[in-house]
Amino acid sequence: MRKLMMITASTAALFAAACTPADETVETDETSAMTEAAMTETNETEAAEVASFDNPLLAEWTGPYGGTPDFDNASLDDLRDALREGMALNLAEIDAIVANPEPANFENTILELERAGAPLGRVFSYWGIWSSNMSSPEFRDIQREMSSELSAFSSQITQNEALFARVRAVHDGAEMQTLTPEQQRVVVLTYDGFARNGATLEGEAAERYAAINARLAELHTDFANNVLNDEGDYVTYLTADQLSGLPADFVAASAAAAATRGREGEYAITNTRSSMDPFLTFSDERDLREQVWTNYYSRGDNGGEFDNNAIITEILQLRDERVGLLGYDNYASWRLENRMAGTPERAMELMEGVWTAAVARIEEEVADMQALADANGDDITIQPWDYRYYAEQVRSARYDLDSEEVKQYLQLDNLREGMFYVAGELFGFAFRELPEGEVSVWHPSVRVWEVTNRDTGANVGLWYLDPFARQGKRSGAWANSFRSHTTIDGQTNVLATNNSNFVEGAPGEPVLVSFDDATTFFHEFGHALHYLSSNVDYPTLNGGVRDYTEFQSQLLERWVLTDPVVNNYLTHVETGEPMPQALIERIRAAANFNQGFSTGEYLASALMDMVYHTTDPAEMSDPDTFERETLARLGMPDEIVMRHRSPHFGHIFSGEGYSAGYYGYMWADVLTADAAEAFQEAPGGFYDPEVSARLVEYLFAPRNSMDPAEAYRLFRGRDADVSALMRDRGFPVTE
């Protein structure tokens, strides 16, 4: 189990890995190379003296598959005590490392840190489920109460001078030259985890650093919970005469959602992307579209006790002060120092180049939609709540492509089997669903598969799938792991999870999803494959660099429309016939349709994130005003909004995993577009055995055991070509 002491600059990042609300993809294992293990990874071969506990949340996992979490006996009543006992045990392990009379070396310092913290790591596996998948007011009370204690615990370790001295002795010592490259990387990541997070500070500066972390932990938690409250409180209920334009399966799911809320006979449009997006796309009721749009984009911005604006201001002030103690000009400079982009300027350069093309495309899209509305005699001017609705009509007219027609071929269960096929062909994995009850799960709708090596039959791990939206589950889609691959005390198998918010249909009815949701499903599975394919020896190396780790999952989206998946898994819900080639060609022809909208709404958030973290907080107005002024300066079109407006931008304000790092999706997209061209150029296309082997060997299995840029060069033979991104999105390529 990786050490809890390596939690990032604030223990709030520990919460971010388990709690961050998301409207698309948030992966908890890449919050940092340190947080992932602290949150989700357990080494079951830990020291015998801590092998059993009275508290079930601390107890070593038992049963088949190397042991699995016991959700059946997990109770919130045990959480506070489990956290406190787990922290005490971890601190005792740290004390033992420090007290070792032998000179510091890799074996007695770095490796012991790699082993430390297993019991507390197990507690946080349950914590992650309670915060993300099964949230409740009772849990949020505990979360809020424990945030300061967890922050203090983190600071006790990151500011342990004697411990840092031992780590530094290994980092600076002659032994480093004798270590393997993988061991050297563990040492460097461990040292940086201390040095970049306050270990070099002394006296009042160290005390202030710890105090800032404690307050940030509270603020990040409050931010996330405020968004959850607004997602639960703002539900739009429809009557039967307000359903015009809505697909039948969406109507049925909305009726079920209303029934679970005690509103039989009505239809609930919940305040999550999975409900909002299809409603805005298909509803003919413009006033209701505006209401649903307003509810969604006002999360955290409604005044009262759940408003996040004051929290944003304080978070930015504290982050700026904290990195100032370390000698950095701004938060973004600190954050990007060890990422692929390197500097905020490089990240901004990439984003601004694409932004110009995206804005130009948005203007074209709006003109097309306005022309259609005028031709229909609708007597409107396109507003943000109209964009999806009229875009769908333009898509249908231009490409003869009806989203509802496409959905008939996108059954959730078939998509899952298609993902398994791809994993078998590229990674050599086989999947077998476990009988109900063989391992414990946190909700009846969660299903579990054993993952084995297709050639040898050896167990690789388990894959948990939690597919459906429900009250208390955060919106969006994400991946996580309860345990990652290590070999330091015997090889461990992987426990990976994928979590989605598909709208569950009526009992016995197949669940049909949009094409965007299908690609997101493959995306998140890419993160699970990243966990499952790991061959690293040391827990720390299961982390990753934020602007690189989205690349692997984004790349897997490209297999959705490959011929084997189409012919065998994209079959019509009624006839069972494969998706016809003519429809596939229409989908491909429309691939870059609405690219201005999708790129623009994302980039507006990414640019805003970087501006927030490169601007002196003393020079900022309140967040609402600053957001409007900044977007106006950037030339934000009136017809779209940020994908995540500031008051609900959980990626950057409910933790620090994506803060000053939301640009990373686009940085990874450059790699994705370039790597996709490698497959397109290969004789075997997306199933070419040689390119696939390099994909696994260099881009998936090594995790963070080598520099990402070098790993990509080993795969591609060169650095990624930025122009591949522009070609991929259908934007002009400038030389």
Q: Is 684 helix (H, G, I), strand (E, B) or coil?
A: coil
44 has pLDDT over 50? no
Name all contacts of 444-449 with Cβ < 8 Å and 24+ positions apart: 445/470, 445/504
pLDDT digits (tens, 9 = 90+) for 629-659: 999 999 999 999 999 999 999 999 999 989 9
Q: Is 656 helix (H, G, I), strand (E, B) or coil?
A: coil
Alpha-carbon distance of 524 to 560, in angstroms, equals 13
Strand 447-453 to strand 459-468: parallel, antiparallel, or no bridges (unpaired)? antiparallel
Q: Is 39 helix (H, G, I), strand (E, B) or coil?
A: helix
Per-residue tokens: 408: 């008939």
Alpha-carbon distance of 87 to 117, in angstroms, equals 8
Per-residue tokens: 296: 């969604």
192-208 average pLDDT score: 93
Alpha-carbon distance of 625 to 631, in angstroms, equals 10
pLDDT of residue 503: 85
Quote the mean pLDDT of the chain.
91
Alpha-carbon distance of 99 to 524, in angstroms, equals 43
418: part of which helix (H) or strand (E)?
Answer: helix 412-427
Q: Residue 270 carries which side chain, given as an amino acid letter?
A: T
Please provide residue 488's backbone torsions phi and psi, each rounded to the nearest 5 degrees. -65, -25
Alpha-carbon distance of 660 to 613, in angstroms, equals 6
11 has pLDDT over 50? no
- Give the residue from 531, 579, 527, 594 showing the smallest Cα distance to 415: 579
Q: Is 148 helix (H, G, I), strand (E, B) or coil?
A: helix
Residue 15's pLDDT band (cuts 50, 70, 90):
very low
Rounded alpha-carbon distances, angstroms, from residue 366 to 54, 276, 377:
62, 21, 16
Angle at 13 between CA 299 and CA 314, to 5 degrees: 55
Class of domain 12-229: mainly alpha
Alpha-carbon distance of 25 to 669, in angstroms, equals 14
Cβ neighbours of residue 570 under 8 Å, at least 6 residues apart?
409, 410, 414, 415, 418, 578, 579
Per-residue tokens: 530: 């990243």
- Give the residue from 510, 298, 522 showing the smallest Cα distance to 418: 522
Placement of tokens 């008051």 in the chain? 647
Alpha-carbon distance of 89 to 33, in angstroms, equals 22
Rounded alpha-carbon distances, angstroms, from residue 91 to 14, 56, 94, 112, 631:
17, 20, 5, 13, 46
pLDDT of residue 662: 96
Residues forming CATH 1.10.1370.40 domain(s) in the chain: 12-229, 409-589+663-735
pLDDT digits (tens, 9 = 90+) for 89-137: 999 999 999 999 999 999 999 999 999 999 999 999 999 999 999 999 9
560-568 average pLDDT score: 97
Write down the CATH number for the domain with range 409-589+663-735. 1.10.1370.40
pLDDT digits (tens, 9 = 90+) for 453-484: 999 999 999 999 999 998 889 888 999 999 99
**Is the Cβ–Cβ distance between 658 and 26 less than 8 Å?**
yes
Residue 603's pLDDT band (cuts 50, 70, 90):
very high
42 has pLDDT over 60? no
Q: Residue 158 carries which side chain, given as an amino acid letter?
A: T
Residue 288's pLDDT band (cuts 50, 70, 90):
very high
Give the residue numbers marked as catalytic: 524
496: part of which helix (H) or strand (E)?
Answer: strand 494-502
How many Cβ atoms are within 10 Å of 216's Cβ, its own excluded?
A: 25
Alpha-carbon distance of 322 to 134, in angstroms, equals 33
Across 152-161, 368-377, 422-431, least confident range? 152-161
Q: What percentage of the chain carries pLDDT values higher than 70?
A: 93
Per-residue tokens: 588: 């491909």
pLDDT of residue 474: 87
Angle at 616 between CA 610 and CA 621, to 5 degrees: 90
Alpha-carbon distance of 24 to 173, in angstroms, equals 44
Q: Is 91 helix (H, G, I), strand (E, B) or coil?
A: helix
pLDDT of residue 735: 59
Alpha-carbon distance of 11 to 213, in angstroms, equals 7
**Is the Cβ–Cβ distance between 89 and 49 less than 8 Å?**
no
43-63 average pLDDT score: 67
b/e sequence 89-119, b meaning 16+ C-beta within 10 Å: bbbebbeebbeeeeebbbebbbbbbbbbbbb
pLDDT of residue 33: 30
Strand 236-238 to strand 267-269: parallel, antiparallel, or no bridges (unpaired)? antiparallel
Strand 494-502 to strand 459-468: parallel, antiparallel, or no bridges (unpaired)? parallel
Alpha-carbon distance of 571 to 551, in angstroms, equals 28
Q: For residue 267, what are the β-bridge partners?
A: 238
More confident residue, 272 or 286: 286
234 has pLDDT over 60? yes
Please provide residue 498's backbone torsions phi and psi, each rounded to the nearest 5 degrees. -120, 140
Alpha-carbon distance of 187 to 602, in angstroms, equals 36
Q: For residue 237, what are the β-bridge partners?
A: 268
Alpha-carbon distance of 631 to 593, in angstroms, equals 24
- Give the residue from 382, 353, 385, 346 showing the smallest Cα distance to 365: 382
Q: Residue 701 carries which side chain, given as an amino acid letter?
A: A
Q: What is the DSSP string of 266-322?
A: SEEE-SSHHHHHHHHHH---HHHHHHHHHHHHTTT-SSGGG--HHHHHHHHHHHHHH
pTM of the model: 0.85
pLDDT of residue 595: 93
Alpha-carbon distance of 712 to 1, in angstroms, equals 28
Alpha-carbon distance of 70 to 52, in angstroms, equals 14
8 has pLDDT over 80? no
CA atoms in the 13 A half-sphere facing the CB of 582: 5
Residue 37's pLDDT band (cuts 50, 70, 90):
very low
386-413 average pLDDT score: 94
**Is the Cβ–Cβ distance between 627 and 417 less than 8 Å?**
no
